Amino acid sequence: MRFACLSLAFCAASVLPVLPAVAQSVPSTDVAKDSLQGQRYVAIGSSFAAGPMLPPAKPGGPARCGQSMNNYPTLLAERLGMVLVDRSCSGATTDHVLGPWGDIPPQIAAVTPETRLVTITIGGNDLSYIGNLFSATCSFNAKAAEIAGATPKTCADVRVPTEEDYLRDEKQMNEIARRIRQTAPKARIVLVQYLNPLPAPGSLCPATPISEGDAETVREIGRRLAEITDRVALANNAIVVEMNQSSAAHTPCDPEPWMIGSPKGYDGKQGLQWHLNKAGMQATADGIAYWLNEAGTKPAAPMPTREAAGSAKAVNKAPSTPVKPKT
């Protein structure tokens, strides 16, 4: 059984199980419980929000951001009937949310007082979370090539973040949430956890060609990043959608994967390696939509079941009895 702690103080008081399809009540805010249809929605994030190489490509955005028409912000906006301003960009760090990235304006600049929803998937690139998977795959394949007698490819080292890196990431994410709340006080802020890219220890498969040592480094980064995201949500009265937990049975090694991994001979037609496929994007959109509905928004389209939606946390109060799904 896995446990999730919302804060050091909360964990000291009690430890409660969090199951993949069980919700803890979402935050209550002074936002009116009404429809989001026709309202402004700003999507902030990195490649896990953008959907690089996931067809079809979204026209109009910066080409290097790799936005897809099937990314979760687009699917969510369609479900809620909202006007989407998609600022997600592959490779983005928290610096690129708060400040410009070359010719790309700060993502947060798209948030206006009229904004009613902001989703955020960010912080992973600050810690080389997904970048490490590419480096680890390169190293794994290089060693296999060397054993076979071929000249091995030079690979980047797998980065182990320092405590200073983690502290800076959390500070930056708090600043993002603070500025959004300051600019758009009526907006609902939803932090979306990164999906789980790897199976449990000892369960790596051909679709996840990395060493167990590198896998453990990546898992630890994911664990720390999830804790940071929870604390940021707690500090800023935001909803957190625990896609890291609900995707645990949908890794690249599972029968119904929500992520691609890096299988040998992969042709790239379902999206970039080590990123979400269409099913993962749909599951993420469903999860956000469901928990927004639980928070009091009126859907423009039928809501998914709780089983489809996955987990969320109320990070501003102690967990309540799981709510009954609305179908």
Residue-wise pLDDT for 184-228, tens only, equals 999 999 999 999 999 999 999 999 999 999 999 999 999 999 999
d(CA 60, CA 4): 40
Domains of the chain with bracketed CATH? 8-27+34-123+165-197+216-314 (3.40.50.1110)
26-78 tens-digit pLDDT: 554 444 457 899 999 999 999 999 999 999 999 998 999 999 999 999 999 99
- Which pLDDT score is estimated for 167? 98
CB 137 within 8 A of CB 153: no
- Strands lying side by side in the sheet with 83-86: 83-86, 40-45, 115-121, 188-192, 239-242, 311-314
9-17 contacts at long range (C-beta below 8 A, 24 or more positions apart): 10/318, 14/318, 16/319
Sign of CA dihedral 87, 92, 97, 98: negative
For the four alpha carbons of 95, 40, 121 and 320, in that order, the dihedral sign comes to positive
What pLDDT score does 144 carry?
85
pLDDT of 171 reads 98
Tokens at 213, concatenated: 């040592």
> What are phi and psi for residue 119, nearest 5 degrees?
-105, 145
40-45 and 115-121 beta bridge pairing:
parallel
Pairwise CA distance, residues 260 & 266, whole Å? 9
Q: pLDDT averaged over consecutive 10-residue blocks of the chain (327 residues)?
A: 30 29 42 78 98 96 96 97 98 98 98 98 98 97 82 91 98 98 98 98 98 98 98 97 97 98 96 98 97 84 56 38 29
Distance between CA 189 and CA 192 in Å, rounded?
10
Q: Which residue in 165, 157, 183, 299 sits closest to 236, CA to CA? A: 183
297: DSSP letter: P
Preceding omega of 56 cis (within 30 degrees of 0): yes
| Residue corresponding to tokens 């896990």 | 48
Distance CA 120, CA 73 (A): 10
Judged on CB neighbours under 10 Å (0-12, 13-18, 19+), 183 is: middle
* The model's pTM: 0.84
Q: Is 308 helix (H, G, I), strand (E, B) or coil?
A: helix
